[in-house]
Chains A and B, each alone.
Chain A
Amino acid sequence: MTVGSQVKGCFSSIKSIEATLQTLAAKTADQEQQTAFKQVEQIISEVKNDLQHQVIQLTKEEPQYK
């Protein structure tokens, strides 16, 4: 596996984490828990944005593995 595909794999895992957090936040009835989930979701979404840039950059560097 190239670095590019590894980072891509990690990126999609992060996306799945974000989605799971969203469903959990929607399902839970407890206010405190909901706030915690949303807070964590915010952090994960920042990580996701950073990684997205990285993925794009890596694809540019290794166009043959696109």
Chain B
Amino acid sequence: MPEWIVVVLRSFSLLIILFFMTKWLGKKQISQLNVFEYISGIVLGGIVAIHTIDPNANIVYAFLSMFIWFIVPLCVEYVSLKSKRFRDFTEGKSTVLIQDGKIMEDNLKKEGYSTDDLLEKLRDNNVFLASDVEFAVLEPSGSLSVLPKKENQPLTAKDLGLNVAPEKEPQTVIMDGEMLLEPLANLSLNVNWLETELDKQNVSIENVFLAQADNQGQLYLDLYDDKLAVPSPSEIPLLLATMNKCQADLELFALATENQHSKQLYERNSKKLQQAIDLIRPYLS
């Protein structure tokens, strides 16, 4: 057998083995690998490289060494899933660099971090003033996690005491002009509903590139033909506007009438409507 065929055959077979091995070793990003996994990855690559370009090397040795470099990290991973102590040993522990707003100089020294390194990592997290940080921890992967002081944290609805409606994930119901049945069922909607909605907007399904529905049953469309204007869903904004208008109308009637009985009736209902608006507003925005 000519040598070039040997090289081709070896390349293909080792490539396939390497593909499955890396697949079985898990879905971690390069940056998430610990030192051990990183090294075993390089060694696996090296073994494959040596045995593909050297036709004289014994292929059985290649399989053997690849198997060992594959099975040991796999076992380590499995055992560290089960045991916390083993995990601390193989993956390392996190180190607290800033606690209660104070920099821990000893820990910094232990990790071999200079003040510049710390400041750089803080800047990575959009913190430019070390005193803005309440707590910072250096993860085993080498990234720094930062908890800013409360006053420096972004404002949330909870801070404002706002009542917000729970939001469910929107579902993609049409992709490339094809209806997707499972996402539709997730929203407890059916094909009929989708057809009606499309009819309402005067669009044929072949022309729809992407359609998504939220959990209030509003449909957002993107068409192949970008010249056609698609109206955005108006039902919910319209509802709120109509409610506000009616509330204002009732107040106006209350002011205009001289009949005491009617005045009270209008005022009572205007208040009720205001109450209804306040109740429903979080769900409509």
Contact = CB atoms under 8 A, between A and B. Distances in A.
Contacts of B280: 21, 36-37, 40
Interface string B205-249: 000000000011100000000000000000110110011011001
A50 B268 contact: yes
A39 B279 contact: yes
Interface in A8-59: 9-10, 13-14, 16-17, 20-21, 24, 27-30, 32-33, 36-37, 39-40, 43-44, 46-47, 50-51, 54, 57
Interface residues of A, number: 30
Interface of B: 165-166, 168, 187-189, 215-217, 235-236, 238-239, 242-243, 245-246, 249-250, 253, 256-257, 262, 265-266, 268-269, 272-273, 275-276, 279-280, 283
Contacts of B269: 46-47, 50-51
B217 A28 contact: yes
Contacts of B257: 3
Contacts, number: 83
A32 B262 contact: no
A64 interface: no
Contact of B276 (A6, A29, A44): A44
Given A17-B239, A24-B217, A39-B279, A32 B168 contact: no
